[in-house]
Copies of this chain bind each other. A is one copy, B any other.
Amino acid sequence: MNVTIWNEFRHEKQNELVRSIYPDGIHSAIAQGLRDLDSGLDVRTATLDEAEHGLSEAVVESTDVLFWWGHAHHEAVSEPVVERVHNAVLAGMGLVVLHSGHFSRIFRRLMGTACSLRWREAGERERLWVVNPGHPIARGIGPFIELPNTEMYGEPFIVPTPEEEVFISWFEGGEVFRSGCCWRRGNGKVFYFRPGHETYPIYHNRQVLQVLANAAHWAAPHGERVSGIHKAQNVPAEQAREKIVRKGGSVHQPDGSLGGAMQ
């Protein structure tokens, strides 16, 4: 299975503290962690400042599951790349959105909502409870994950009702958050996973990496991508599965297109 880890990769270049935790970038830490944990994943990386943000057609086409970490430069991701990734998800590619990626263009586009939340950066304790113990993403995790220092994200999280919830977080400062949420969009699966701040070593935590490996397997497509998902396919009357006779008027031409005057 081909996994691509996408990272904004600017904090690590600009900030000493972030660099001390992720010297080769968050993407490299996740990639290495996944390789170490799960030999079934073929992991590569891509970052914002590469050509086409490292997400050329060839890369996206050959990616089974894309991970997305962004924070301060969501708007720097170009429209063609957002559209390419969006189309790939609808056609079957899996997408795992990490932490501050909740405000990324691709996540907001797939959700159709604001994706906003409350937040606080105080290094407080977080405990992610497994609310769905039989779910493949929770496999091997036990009843909860405890993280000693995290940024808080609090409800309300303005997303469509999750189709499945895997984790809900408790925070030391008194908030809760739906931290592991699943949706299906077209033929693709989307998983949002909350932990992952740039100034705490979250992606060195073995349980967090196990969740990410599990999520890759969960989000992977079944079979080939479905093409042509954006097109409204016309089915002429003579090709109907049941015999019908065309009745009534139309503003369409016989080929299904709208006549010139209508456009």
Contact = CB atoms under 8 A, between A and B. Distances in A.
Interface string A64-80: 00000000110000000
Give the number of times this chain occurs in the complex, counting copies.
4
A139 interface: yes
Contact of A114 (B90, B120, B171): B90
A169 B168 CA distance: 10
Contact of A156 (B133, B149, B178): B133
Contact of A118 (B11, B118, B232): B232
Interface stretch (A23-31, A36-44, A54-62, A236-244): A236-244
B184 A247 contact: no
Interface stretch (A45-53, A204-212, A249-257): A249-257
A90 to B, nearest CB: 6
Interface of A: 10-11, 14-15, 17-18, 72-73, 90, 92, 103, 109-114, 116-124, 127, 129-136, 139-140, 144, 146, 149, 152, 154-158, 160-161, 163-165, 168-176, 178, 183-188, 198-200, 221-223, 226, 229-237, 240-242, 244-252, 256, 258, 261-263
